[in-house]
Structure 1
Amino acid sequence: MQDLLARMTVEEKVGQLSTLLGWEMYQKDERRVDISAAGKKAIDERHIGALWATLRADPWTKKTLKTGLNPLQAAEATNALQKYAVEHTRLHIPLLLAEECPHGHMAIGTTVFPTSIGQSSTWDPALIRRMASVIASEARVQGTHIGYGPVLDLAREPRWSRVEETYGEDPVLNGQMGAAMVQGFQGTSLKSGLNVVSTLKHFTAYGVPEGGHNGGSISPGYRELNQSFLPPFRAAVKAGALSVMTAYNSIDGVPCSASEWLLTDVLRKQWGFQGFTVSDLGSISGLVGSHHVAATPAEAAALALNAGLDNDLSGYGYDKALLAAHQQKLVSMEALDRAVSRVLRVKFDLGLFENPYVDPKKATKLVRNPAHVQLARQVAQESIVLLKNEKNLLPLAKTLQRLAVIGPNADNIYNQLGDYTAPQPESNIVTVLEGIRAQVSPATQIFYAKGCAIRDTTDANIAEAVAAARRAQVAVVVLGGSSARDFQTDYQSTGAATVTAAKGGQPLSDMESGEGYDRATLDLLGKQQELLQAVVATGTPVVVVLIKGRPLNLNWMAAHVPAMLDAWYPGQEGGHAVADVLFGDYNPAGRLPISVPRHVGQLPVYYNAKRPAKHDYVETSAKPLYSFGHGLSYSKFEYSTLRVSTAEHSGPCR
């Protein structure tokens, strides 16, 4: 590596630190997939070292099932990119290809698992490690080398839009889940052809922004940082993580992307981190435009690189700005070589210089195979939390004669999948309605009614839902939220969604969660509460199934609905998993990884808050409605004829 570094020009070194947006770097027609003119230009003129989200498909990238890439085409595309980089550059340096992989590789045709908040509800690190190894294998056989994930932000602000991406409020649980993801992603050898480098997000304290505003500032003390926010990252670094992404926020006025204390003192000197750091998208330029701690792009690049930020996700944070910083003597050659060597070391660790290519046929066979689909069902099963089960209404009998399935999330594939999910063929996803139909007796009559949307109030048919409930012996009402992006949504340059009003008479999208969709309240939106109250008023026993990405206000339903399941965003097999629990084929064992508040006015509310203990408000209790760790099951326990034996012990107390 030192020999390679010595032969590189300054421009080539700077290029190795640029990770550009990748989905414009390939072109596709009916016959083949190849590198695009934009891809050739980036390699030829900017000497780029990495691409991000090359295989990503979603409304932001404008890649659909038709215009995006299936696994075979994805492998062909990454091979074409690597071939050009290796054969048309002076030093034949291969590319690093990074992808979003939090609950499945965010590409067409891959396996979609529950989002992270559901993963942590399993409290099963061994299972999550297995899941991560599957995600890694599906990504690597398509040509990916780096998987972005896990997200290790503590979720102590449920109004924040990205709670679904986290493992909840507890540092220990976060650390255990994060370490499991790292071990599953990276395996025992990055040269296996089935493993990827794990990128930890977001370093650090990103998940508790003031007012719940995504990317907002926070003001923790250094004791709180060390006791709560840093331990999950430390656990994942000790598990071997080789990449860390900086957060958008500042801490005590110092942006994370320019914090030498975080990126050098803590990460490297204290923890012994051996990988490379990468900015979040646009966070280096944000030192000028958002944080105002640098006057020019060159000053921003110098602040970041000198602090220990190695790689630029965007391609415009370093690039020309870093070259200018070097020319202005704001960045030394020693500092530049240090960052480049960290990136190159990972390329060597992955074996890319020996073999930068993948076998497209292998991608076709491995991605979303039956074993992976079955694992997605298992993770979804274990993630479901039984919040309430009055008079043992659950499990339901499969021989019910008449069953109503009601609600905006009962039969909506995208509302079930969470953010960072690619477009999906409908045949790949099992909704709750479909899962129930597959479980009950052929003689059971199922009455389905959507009732209303998640947010939009212009087109509701609550009367139809009421009629369905009145005809049924039990009504399953599926409510909650959605992170489903659509092609009418506007997006920021970072990919976060912009909250906008409906356009041109179009109904509001269901999206009320997911990056950029921060909330002021936690109430059910649209006419969902009205729908639920109308169904409950029929007198038919009601089971509520919640599909959502954050804790919501459940006060009314907790008081009036006999049975409640929280399924979070359960992924592609969520419908089967919910039905497995509803009908008793799986005994629910999920436990809440985050507290459910009674009211936004009591926030923050998490179980290990600093003392002194809170006292009640005039209007309500200070305690959460459901505490961290809550979760019921169908099992019954009895304790009898208990005995306590004591034994005296002499000697000093320990």
Structure 2
Amino acid sequence: MKQLIIAFFLLTAGAVRAQQPADMKMKAFIDALMKKMTLEEKIGQLNLPGSGDVVTGQASNSDIGKKIKEGKVGGLFNIKSVAKIKAVQKVAVEETRLKIPLIFGMDVIHGYETVFPIPLGLSCSWDMQLIEQTARIAAIEASADGICWTFSPMTDLCRDPRWGRIAEGSGEDPYLGAQIGAAMVRGYQGKNLAANNTILSCVKHFALYGASEAGRDYNTTDMSRYRMYNEYFPPYKGAIDAGAGSVMASFNEIDGVPATANRWLMTNVLRNQWGFKGFVVTDYTGIGEMTSHGIGDTPAVSRAAINAGIDMDMVSEAFLTTLMQSVKQGKVTVAQIDAACRRILEAKYKLGLFDDPYRYCDENRAKTEVFTPAHRKTARETAAQSFVLLKNNPLPGGVGVGILPLKKSGTIALIGPLADNKENMPGTWAVAARFNEAITVLQGMKEVAGSNVKILHARGSNLDADSLFEERAGMFGKSLRRDSRPADVMIKEAVDIANQSDVVVVAAGESAEMSGESSSITGIEIPQVQKDLIHALLKTGKPVVLVLFTGRPLAIKWESENVPAILNVWFGGSEAGYAIADVLFGAVNPSGKLTTTWPQNIGQVPLFYNHKNTGRPLTGEWFQKFKTNYLDVTNDPVYPFGYGLSYTSFSYGDVKLSSTSLKGNQVLKASVTVTNTGAYTGKEVVQLYIRDLVGSVTRPVKELKAFEKIELKAGESRTITFNITPADLKFYNYDLKYDWEAGEFEIMIGTNSRDLKKGKVNWVK
């Protein structure tokens, strides 16, 4: 034993020595640099303005260029192209006293020019390797075009589909959100941040932004710390534990204090409890907006931000214009500014910018590594993995055989306002997308179907009856080019071609900008004019397939009851049309699973699977007086968390536990045999949930703790085994101590959060 202990310490000491030279070299470099810096230059490093009026060839003489020369800028964001970035960087490293390079950021949210599915859609793949690959490709493309910092991943947990930014996150589950956040960080930052094809990630929005009251963007948030730690914090922490280099503060308040001025959040939790070593940037004008919150004037909110632990001010320029005076007044210390400046300089050092400020400005890479055929192929494959088959009833007379996949023969009517629109395919927050090269559903279906299929096309309806609403939902160049004809004329045209066809495909739902930032909504149904179209098409008696576009869970109870087949395609990115056609015609068997709960109507919101029980839970049939239920609808969702169908079918055997009684750190093996009982090879996400039946505080009715995505051939069976340890049972108790409690636990495995096989185990300490 003594020898083992000695060996352990020798190994540990060796590892520390191996790490020290690089850290010490960085510290020595930054120490020497900061000794040369004036206080004004240090404050300048904390300033992150927008790209402003930068024009290629005139960077030095622009307003931004003048500020850079004066040492008043630490970085820029949303400036695109190697030529522009190189020109601005040249000003920083060749026309300033200390030649400190700039950091260049951009909203690379779900791809760069090659756009992948919106993050909510991507999460439905439940494939961490695939998700990491999309971030890796995004980093390759963005870095090839001069970008070295992305404002992603967004790890805000959200349970309110009214909030438009639910489209940018990974859904409602803490565990899954943490896994996805970590995968995104690994993809962006790679194994070597100094490589010229990796970029710095930024975890946002810290914290609780997805819980905005009433689902209204930028609104206030209020919750217990018990809920913060157990439910909303894990996705942020998962990404930070994966090594994220920066964090972005959220707009909302926490415990009455805006996140941007919340020292408990930014210093106590983020740095002291979680050990975060990177830098914290505000969101757009986050410091200035605190005046509207009621925290004080510009000098006061600037002091509050720097005192809280904010390092970089995005756009407000409040640090730049007030911190010198606050230092003179003794209200901010030089040490605080030094700490913030050091963290930003460290990020630049780790990115290799001091070694080579132009390492991200290789014009050959920009020409050869962006929007490549290989990247587009991955985007097509990824999109198909994100789609969720919600319903697939048999054709009339086709017992056990769904309408989908479609045959590559006969006549198909393709109808709907989203059937032939390039601009909306990439979805929200696709700032670098090549919209004119995106693939529409019509184009994709024609190319994939082949010459034996005749495809008839009609618009059928506008996005919405209200032209002003449609204009708001078509911002940033994503117009649906409104049709001026009366609604009944467009419907008649659609019905006419439907009657000439064997099957009808309706591309309907939301437009890309109906979700995303500042796109909150009070009604989460398909717009009525589109529902009228679907209703008219159903009356033809033809088989109808709804290809549903959306950036949020929708209330589609009527559609789920009346439309025979529904394929939810989110917004699939650059290659959306091809991917949709691949799934419709069966080249790809859909395997996506929902990462949000879909309600019957807006009145059920918020609705999520891992809720708490009440003292009067509803058991048995609805309705029961004096139980927790509604008078008008059941408590059930239309589609539960984890739900998703396939063109094949899977059966689950009983859950088998290695023991029903364990002690201490023993490992429980929970197994289930899954069989492909259908006619197609398919992928299935096997999901493990645990319920802590008795606790010192109330516990959720179930919590996702593990999952595995498998592929089975028709008739094939496989036994999946999950290893469960006390680490999987831990939670934050009333005193916010992270531990597990002895007792009885329910182990559940199944195809979604509702349809589960169960077993029980008693676990003592």
Asked if these proteins are the same fold (TM beyond 0.5), I'd say yes
What displacement does 1:616 show?
2.8
- Encode CA deviations 1:458-502: one digit per residue, 9 max, x unaligned: 64311111111111110000111123xxxxxxxxxxxxxxxxxxx
- Residue 174 of structure 2 corresponds to 171
- Residue 482 of structure 1 corresponds to 511
Shifted more, 318-327 versus 596-605: the winner is: 318-327
- Residue 636 of structure 2 corresponds to 623
Distance across 1 between alignment mates of 2:342 and 2:443: 52
- Encode CA deviations 1:529-581: one digit per residue, 9 max, x unaligned: 11111111111100001111111121111111110011111111111111111
What displacement does 1:647 show?
8.7
- Residue 486 of structure 1 corresponds to none
Shifted more, 150-159 versus 522-531: the winner is: 522-531
Distance across 1 between alignment mates of 2:60 and 2:585: 50
- Encode CA deviations 1:163-188: one digit per residue, 9 max, x unaligned: 11010000111110100000010011
- Residue 398 of structure 1 corresponds to 407
- Residue 354 of structure 1 corresponds to 355
Q: Is the 8 A contact 2:194 2:350 kept in 1?
A: yes
Distance across 2 between alignment mates of 1:316 and 1:456: 42
- Encode CA deviations 1:400-447: one digit per residue, 9 max, x unaligned: 311000101111112221111237555521111111111223132211
Q: Is the 8 A contact 1:34 1:76 kept in 2?
A: no
In structure 1, which of residues 460, 465, 473 is the aligned counterpart of residue 502 of structure 2?
473
- Residue 553 of structure 1 corresponds to 555
Give the direction of change, closer, same or farther, for the CA distance of 1:401–1:35 in structure 2 (3 Å limit).
Answer: farther
2:417 is the counterpart of 1:416: no
Give the direction of change, closer, same or farther, for the CA distance of 1:158–1:327 in structure 2 (3 Å limit).
Answer: same
Distance across 1 between alignment mates of 2:591 and 2:350: 39
Name the aligned partner's letter for residue 26 of structure 1: V
Q: Is the 8 A contact 1:14 1:319 kept in 2?
A: yes
2:183 is the counterpart of 1:180: yes
SS at the partner of 1:395? coil
- Residue 38 of structure 1 corresponds to 63
Name the aligned partner's letter for residue 200 of structure 1: V
2:318 is the counterpart of 1:293: no
Larger RCO, structure (CA 8 Å, separation 6 or more): 1
Distance across 1 between alignment mates of 2:406 and 2:661: 55
Distance across 2 between alignment mates of 1:534 and 1:146: 49
2:87 is the counterpart of 1:80: yes
- Residue 447 of structure 1 corresponds to 456
Q: Is the 8 A contact 1:100 1:149 kept in 2?
A: yes
Higher strand share: 2
What displacement does 1:315 show?
4.3
What displacement does 1:270 show?
0.8
What displacement does 1:379 show?
1.2
In structure 1, which of residues 111, 116, 120 is the aligned counterpart of residue 119 of structure 2?
116
Q: In percent, how many aligned pairs have the same letter?
A: 38
Distance across 1 between alignment mates of 2:537 and 2:117: 28
Q: Is the 8 A contact 2:286 2:316 kept in 1?
A: no
**TM-score, structure 2 as length reference:** 0.76
Name the aligned partner's letter for residue 47 of structure 1: K
- Residue 722 of structure 2 corresponds to none
2:115 is the counterpart of 1:100: no
Name the aligned partner's letter for residue 119 of structure 1: L
**TM-score, structure 1 as length reference:** 0.88
SS at the partner of 2:650? coil
Distance across 2 between alignment mates of 1:231 and 1:645: 28
Distance across 1 between alignment mates of 2:59 and 2:540: 60
Give the direction of change, closer, same or farther, for the CA distance of 1:405–1:417 in structure 2 (3 Å limit).
Answer: same
What displacement does 1:526 show?
5.0
Distance across 1 between alignment mates of 2:281 and 2:46: 9
Q: Is the 8 A contact 1:415 1:481 kept in 2?
A: no
SS at the partner of 2:599? coil
Distance across 2 between alignment mates of 1:573 and 1:300: 45
Shifted more, 40-49 versus 270-279: the winner is: 40-49
Give the direction of change, closer, same or farther, for the CA distance of 1:578–1:35 in structure 2 (3 Å limit).
Answer: farther
Give the direction of change, closer, same or farther, for the CA distance of 1:649–1:17 in structure 2 (3 Å limit).
Answer: closer
What displacement does 1:47 show?
2.0
Once superposed, what is the RMSD of the aligned Cα atoms?
A: 2.0
Where does the alignment leave 5 or more consecutive residues of structure 1 unmatched?
A: 56-73, 484-510
Q: Is the 8 A contact 1:547 1:570 kept in 2?
A: no
Q: Which has the larger radius of gyration?
A: 2
Q: Is the 8 A contact 1:396 1:583 kept in 2?
A: yes
In structure 2, which of residues 185, 190, 194 is the aligned counterpart of residue 191 of structure 1?
194
What displacement does 1:377 show?
0.9
What displacement does 1:262 show?
0.8
- Residue 387 of structure 1 corresponds to 390
- Residue 227 of structure 1 corresponds to 230
- Encode CA deviations 1:579-627: one digit per residue, 9 max, x unaligned: 1111111111000010111111111100011222463311111111101
In structure 1, which of residues 418, 437, 441 is the aligned counterpart of residue 446 of structure 2?
437
- Residue 248 of structure 1 corresponds to 251
- Residue 604 of structure 1 corresponds to 606
Distance across 1 between alignment mates of 2:655 and 2:283: 57
- Residue 41 of structure 2 corresponds to 12
What displacement does 1:44 show?
2.4
2:129 is the counterpart of 1:126: yes
- Encode CA deviations 1:117-152: one digit per residue, 9 max, x unaligned: 011000011111111011011111211111110111
Give the direction of change, closer, same or farther, for the CA distance of 1:646–1:286 in structure 2 (3 Å limit).
Answer: closer
Q: Is the 8 A contact 2:598 2:638 kept in 1?
A: yes
What displacement does 1:349 show?
0.6
Distance across 2 between alignment mates of 1:386 and 1:375: 21
Give the direction of change, closer, same or farther, for the CA distance of 1:36–1:209 in structure 2 (3 Å limit).
Answer: same
In structure 1, which of residues 540, 543, 546 is the aligned counterpart of residue 545 of structure 2?
543
Q: Is the 8 A contact 1:299 1:330 kept in 2?
A: no
Q: Is the 8 A contact 1:275 1:342 kept in 2?
A: yes
Distance across 1 between alignment mates of 2:659 and 2:205: 50
What displacement does 1:208 show?
1.7
